[in-house]
Amino acid sequence: MTGGSGYDVIVVGAGSMGMSAGYHLASQGARTLLIDRFDPPHLEGSHHGEPRLIRHAYSGGDAYIKLALRADALWRELEEQSGEQLLYRSGVLNVADPDVYRYGERAEDATRHGIAAERLNAKEIRYRWPGWSLPAWFEAMYEPNAGYLRSERCVAAYRRAALQAGAKLVTGAEAAGIEAAQGGSVTVRTSKGAFHADRVILSAGAWFGTLASFIDLPIRAVRKTVGWFQPLVSDRRFDAGRFPGFTIGTRDGGFYGFPSIDGAGVKLGRHDGGVAWKPGERLAPFGSLTEDEGDLRRALEKNMPSAAGRLLQGAVCKYELTPDEGFIIDRHPAHGNVWIAGGFSGHGFKFASAVGEVLANLALTGTTPYELDEFKLSRFGALIS
C-alpha cells in the first residue's frame, strides 16, 4: 500500500487484540507482519484458560457498550468465516451485595442501548437457578443475550483468517525495542532480527508497559488463578445450557465464572487480588500458593455451595492493570506512526474483535468511527513519560 519499508504495519504481540488487528489489516490489503514471543494461542497470554465472558451492558459507560455491541457482531462474523461456534449465549447473571455494587444505572444504560436485561432479587435467582445460595438482600441483573467465548479457539480462528488474508507471522521472537524515525519508518528489533514498517501496533499484553517505554505509568502485571470444580450434585443444574455465566460482587471480593462446559466443571476466577508478577519471570504454576484454590473454594462454598466439590483443574493467567483499570487505545505520545493497545485489566477479551478493527482503522487511516476519549493516555497526565 505504501513505500519503501518492508511492511505497511507490524503488529507486536499477536494474542487476543493483535491477532484480530492482523486479520483486519490484512483483509484490507495491508502488508502485515505479526510478531509474537510465543506461538499463539498459547499458555502464556491473557487468553489462556478459556472461556471468557461476553456481556454488553457495561459499567464503563457508552464507549464500552458501543464497543461491546460491535465486538459481538464481529465475533459472529468470525464464526461464519471459520465455520466454528465461538460464542455461546448462556446468559450472564451479575450478582452483588448492594453495599458493594448497585445495578440500577447499568440497567438504565442497557435500556437506552436496546440491550435485554432483567433486574432480579435473591429469591428469583434461587428459583430460576437452584445452584445459588444468596442472602435475601442481594440483587442482580441478568443479560439473556450475553454468554461466553471460547477464547483460545477465537485466537486460533483469527490466526487462520489473518494468514489466509495474506498476513505473515513470526513466532518465538522476543521484541527488544521499537525505534521510530521522525516522519519515517519504524524498526522493531527482536531476537529473530529487525523488521521495518511504515506503522506499528503495539499490543503486547503483560509486556505492553515495558515495550511502550512508559516508565512512570504503573501498569501492573498480576498473576491470576482460575479453577474448575466438580459439582456435589448429580442433577446437572450447573451444566452449560442450564446455568449462566456469572459475576459476583461481595465484600469478600469480585469473582466471575462459567457453567460446566463439556463436563469440565464449574469454572471460577477472582477478578480482584492476585500476585504481582514481573514480565520475563517464571510464572508460578497453579497450586504454588495456598490461596490459589482457597480463595476460589471459599467463594463457591459461600455463594454456590453445591458446586464446591473436588478441584478438577487449576490454571494461571495474567492481567495487565492500568491505574484506573480502563483500556489504553491511543497513538504513542512520542511517535505518530506507533499505535498502542494495552492495559486491558482482565476484562478486555470480549472486545478483542472490535479492538482489532479499531486498531487497523487507526493504523491505516488515522481515524475510527468509535469514540476513544475514554481510552486515551492523556487521562494519566504526568504519569506518561
Has residue 36 got a pLDDT over 90? Answer: yes
Q: What is the CATH number of the domain that holds 156?
A: 3.50.50.60
One domain, residues 212 and 310:
no
For the entire predicted model, the pTM comes to 0.94
CA distance 273 to 252: 10
Has residue 58 got a pLDDT over 50? Answer: yes
One domain, residues 171 and 290:
no
One domain, residues 156 and 210:
yes
pLDDT tens column, 256-281: 999 999 999 999 999 999 999 988 88
- Is residue 189 within 8 A of residue 179, CB to CB? The reply is yes
Domain count, the chain: 2
> Is 58 domain-assigned?
no
One domain, residues 164 and 135:
no
One domain, residues 313 and 233:
yes
At 43, the pLDDT band (50, 70, 90 cuts) reads: low
H helices present in 256-309, as ranges:
291-303
> Is 75 domain-assigned?
no
Percent of the residues in the chain that have a pLDDT greater than 70, as a whole number: 94
Q: 333: domain range?
A: 7-47+152-218+324-380
> Is 245 domain-assigned?
yes
Residue 218, all three cell numbers: 504503573
Q: What is the CATH number of the domain that holds 305?
A: 3.30.9.10
Phi, psi angles (nearest 5°) of residue 303: -110, -30
At 238, the pLDDT band (50, 70, 90 cuts) reads: very high
> Is 77 domain-assigned?
no
Has residue 216 got a pLDDT over 80? Answer: no
> Is 136 domain-assigned?
yes
Q: Residues near 83 by Cβ (< 8 Å), separated by ≥ 6?
A: none
Q: How far is CA 12 from CA 64, 198, 201, 348, in A?
A: 24, 14, 6, 17
pLDDT tens column, 92-146: 999 999 999 988 888 889 999 999 999 999 999 999 999 999 999 999 999 999 9
Percent of the residues in the chain that have a pLDDT greater than 90, as a whole number: 80
Query: Which domain-ending residue is among 321, 339, 366?
Result: 321
Q: Output the pLDDT for position 46.
A: 63
One domain, residues 130 and 275:
yes
Has residue 348 got a pLDDT over 90? Answer: yes
At 2, the pLDDT band (50, 70, 90 cuts) reads: very low
Query: Which domain-ending residue is among 271, 297, 321?
Result: 321
Q: Residues near 381 by Cβ (< 8 Å), separated by ≥ 6?
A: none
Has residue 5 got a pLDDT over 80? Answer: no
pLDDT tens column, 108-123: 899 999 999 999 999 9
One domain, residues 161 and 130:
no
Q: What would the mean pLDDT of 202-231 be, rounded to a whole number?
A: 82
At 8, the pLDDT band (50, 70, 90 cuts) reads: very high
- Is residue 145 within 8 A of residue 116, CB to CB? The reply is yes
What is the average pLDDT score of the chain?
Answer: 93
Q: Output the pLDDT for position 182.
A: 73
64 - beta bridge partners? none
User: By mean pLDDT, which of 24-28, 125-129, 336-340 is the weakest?
Assistant: 336-340
Nearest to 313 by CA among 262, 271, 277: 262
